[in-house]
Amino acid sequence: MQQIKRKTILGIETSCDETAAAIVSFSNKKFTVHSNIIRSQINIHKKYGGVVPEVAARQHIISVIAVIEQALETAQKTVGKIDAIAVTAGPGLITSLMVGVQTAKTLSYIWNKPLIAVNHMKAHVYANWINNKKIKFPAICLIVSGGHTELVLLKKDTHFKKIGQTVDDAAGEAFDKTAQLIKLEYPGGPEISKSAATGNPNAFTFPRPMINSGDFNFSFSGLKTAVLYTVKKQKKHDSKMTADLAASFQQAVVDVLTIKTAKAAKKYQAKSIMLAGGVAANKLLRETLQQKAADLGTNFYVPDIQYCTDNAAMIAVAGYFTPKQNLNKIKINPNLEL
């Protein structure tokens, strides 16, 4: 870990449909989460079947100050002053990002505290440090979220090299779109995983796209289309059918993700395999990748479920690893790369 000077960080996250703030401190080589407040907009976007950017930004404006206040109040019992502010500057929805960044800039100016612009995808990876693990390098991290699916080689905690990514839909996007096809609610990931628990993963043989492609890229749009054709062919559609479709789809996604991650770990002689992002909350994915890592004799790390989906504790932790910037130089970048 690089030299850490900032001791207590306020993290702010508004890149998509969660308004979040958290206070995290670092002492005795340990991160402690003093507060982790998340105000989700899921119930508002549910009726549209996905996140509506303009609606999301308006909700962030309504919530952001109350959420920060609550994070500060909760943390007050266990920690003193704030030393710095970390905020997501990208990737994400531009108008949503603007709310968090402008709020953070204002607080940084009036409190006279340094501001750190954080990359949301790196923050997902840094969620793995929350439980104070000593991660061994080189490490391979599979990042799977609503907008991204990436395989990353980390030579050290601040050195990220993307070795593969999706060529079309992200894994979370595939879960969300497939859920719509089989009449499950948004967000599709948790719904599919719930329904799959009672389904048969071998009921339908769905493709495992690019499983033998020889590179570390992924593709999920064909898999979603395969589910669509299967749904169209069925004469009746009851809850057993939904569960079987969900389980078969989930198995196909998990097979591709875990087999390719294990191949990358072998190729790069990784000492650790890490999992990160919202889809890392998926039980089958967590368990299957853990088993694959054990088979390879590699360490395995995954954040607690509450730190897999969007949260501000991971943004604060990322603040420890990211250099601070001059207020005027901080730019929002909706397409920020790793």
Are the C-beta atoms of 313 and 130 separated by less than 8 Å?
Answer: yes
Distances (CA, A) of 268 to 18, 160, 272: 35, 13, 10
Shortest Cβ 65–ligand KG4 spacing (Å): 22
Q: Which of 11, 90, 114, 147 binds ligand KG4 (CB under 6 A)?
A: 147
Q: How many CB atoms lie within 10 A of CB 8?
A: 19
Q: How many whole angstroms separate alpha carbon 136 and alpha carbon 213?
A: 28
Size of the site for ligand KG4 (CB under 6 A): 19
Q: Which among ligand KG4, Zn ion, none contacts residue 242 (Cβ within 5 to 8 A by kind)?
A: none
Tokens 């879960």 locate to 175
What is the contact mask toward Zn ion in residues 261 to 300, using x (rule: CB under 5 A)?
Answer: ----------------------------------------
Shortest Cβ 135–ligand KG4 spacing (Å): 20
Q: How many whole angstroms separate alpha carbon 67 and alpha carbon 250?
A: 34
For position 319 contacting ligand KG4 by CB under 6 A, the verdict is no
Shortest Cβ 107–ligand KG4 spacing (Å): 23
**Is the previous residue joined to 187 through a cis bond, with omega within 30 degrees of 0?**
yes
Max CA-CA distance within the chain?
A: 65
Tokens 């990211």 locate to 322
Q: How many whole angstroms separate alpha carbon 62 and alpha carbon 56?
A: 10
Q: Which of 303, 310, 318, 319 binds Zn ion (CB under 5 A)?
A: 310
For position 88 contacting ligand KG4 by CB under 6 A, the verdict is no
Q: Which of 164, 278, 303, 319 binds ligand KG4 (CB under 6 A)?
A: 278
For position 310 contacting ligand KG4 by CB under 6 A, the verdict is yes
Shortest Cβ 13–ligand KG4 spacing (Å): 10
Stretch that binds ligand KG4, among 59-67, 126-134, 141-149, 214-222 (CB under 6 A): 141-149
For position 146 contacting ligand KG4 by CB under 6 A, the verdict is yes
- 75: Cα within 13 Å, side-chain hemisphere: 26
164, β-bridge pairs:
151
For position 16 contacting ligand KG4 by CB under 6 A, the verdict is yes
For position 90 contacting ligand KG4 by CB under 6 A, the verdict is no
When the beta carbons of 206 and 268 are compared against ligand KG4, the nearer one is: 206
Q: Which among ligand KG4, Zn ion, none contacts residue 303 (Cβ within 5 to 8 A by kind)?
A: none
Q: How many whole angstroms separate alpha carbon 170 and alpha carbon 25?
A: 32
Q: Which of 100, 164, 187, 319 binds ligand KG4 (CB under 6 A)?
A: 187
In sequence order, what DSSP letters do the residues of 218-266 get, joined into one string? Answer: B--HHHHHHHHHHHHH-S---HHHHHHHHHHHHHHHHHHHHHHHHHHHH
For position 145 contacting Zn ion by CB under 5 A, the verdict is yes
| Segment (H or E) for 94 | helix 94-111
When the beta carbons of 173 and 310 are compared against Zn ion, the nearer one is: 310
Are the C-beta atoms of 247 and 196 separated by less than 8 Å?
Answer: yes
For the chain, the residue count is 338
Q: Which of 11, 90, 100, 189 binds ligand KG4 (CB under 6 A)?
A: 189
Q: How many whole angstroms separate alpha carbon 157 and alpha carbon 17?
A: 28
Size of the site for Zn ion (CB under 5 A): 2
Q: Which of 172, 199, 209, 303 binds ligand KG4 (CB under 6 A)?
A: 172
Shortest Cβ 17–ligand KG4 spacing (Å): 8
Are the C-beta atoms of 314 and 130 separated by less than 8 Å?
Answer: yes
For position 311 contacting Zn ion by CB under 5 A, the verdict is no
Please give the residue ranges that form the binding site for ligand KG4 (CB under 6 A). 16, 145-147, 172, 175-176, 187-190, 193, 277-279, 281-282, 309-310
Give the binding site for Zn ion (CB under 5 A): 145, 310
